[in-house]
Amino acid sequence: MQAQLATIVQQLINGITLGSMYALVALGYTLVYGILLMINFAHSEMFMVGAYVGLFTLTGLTNPHLVGGLAAFFKGSGFGLVILFALVFVVAMIAVGCLGMLVERFAYRPLRNAPRLAPLISAIGVSIFLQNAVLLWVNTMALPFPQVFPVKEITIYGSAQVSTLQIFILVTVIILLTALDTFVARTRMGKAMRATSQDREAAGLMGIDINRVITFTFFIGPALGAVAGIFNGMYYGVVLWNMGFIPGIKSFTAAVLGGIGNLRGAILGGFLLGIVESLASGFLSTGYKDVVAFIVLILVLIFRPGGLLGESVVEKV
């Protein structure tokens, strides 16, 4: 009995870690949808590019040939590690955030007043472009993610263990989610984002610089996606050009599950999906985890078409 309970606890820990990554990516989908009513299918590639930028920054900063004695400092002490990972995340967030802004400027903005299918197709195009750019210019093979982060297992209940990496992921994600939630609720820019999401034209008439709001949204979403990408690389140990595809679809599902356009919904959806998946593969079969995850989605959409926290709007246009 105790052993079974420990297994359940362990699966919950697995699910929460997976869910926290889904939640981060789902925020990117939901932010863009909330403001532009557009599904940014290139978002999964922000996740992938983030993982690559993080990997290269990490290997660059720990390579003594490039940074000399700094490498020993970064790897040697706890303080060095904190600085190292702060740098890795900040560099990846800025780089991928800028990439997101570029994509918006050149692939979506010209189509902003086009029929809604056009930007969707453009997004798919950007996704294919980015995947193939990495494939051609970086590597066709999967790259291993070096284990620089000191991973230790901590026993919490029976045989159930939580690793320091899992704690690190969860704590970082909670900090980021709280920060974003507060930002949108409290700041001037956050207010502008909410206003734009309610009615873009009216917000523009009230003197809000719509382009600035949209550009900012396309910085924040991809930057969060980049963090999730690095976590994914650190957690599973590998970075690959098509690594964004499946987490991207799952996170989009999470955003829909929670109510697309709703920030807290995306977070709830992400965690819920991660936990359901882990429990399903742990207690049914790994082959059925997606089946169970999507059954949950279908059930939620049958009974609450707007998602768990989304309001049912019949037609927003």
Query: Which residues are at the interface with another protein (CB under 8 A)?
Result: 3, 7, 10-11, 14-15, 17-18, 135, 140-142, 144, 147, 151, 153, 159, 161, 163, 232, 236-238, 242-243, 246, 277-279, 281-283, 285-287, 289
* Cβ atoms < 10 Å from Cβ of 174: 13
Closest to another protein by CB, 73 or 288:
288
Q: How far is the CB of 289 from another protein (least distance, A)?
A: 7
Q: How far is the CB of 141 from another protein (least distance, A)?
A: 5
Q: How far is the CB of 279 from another protein (least distance, A)?
A: 8
What residues have CB less than 8 Å from 224, skipping those under 6 apart? 24, 25, 27, 28, 93, 176, 180
Quick one: residue 237, left, alpha or beta (phi over 0 = left, psi -120 to 50 = alpha)? left
Which amino acid is present at 26? A
Closest to another protein by CB, 161 or 172:
161
**Terminal C-alpha separation, the chain:** 54
The Cα–Cα gap between 181 and 110 comes to 30
Determine phi and psi for 161, rounding to 5 degrees: -125, 150
Closest to another protein by CB, 60 or 158:
158
Closest to another protein by CB, 14 or 57:
14
Closest to another protein by CB, 113 or 140:
140
Torsion of CA 129, 252, 242, 226, to 10 degrees: 80
Q: How far is the CB of 87 from another protein (least distance, A)?
A: 23
Q: How far is the CB of 284 from another protein (least distance, A)?
A: 10
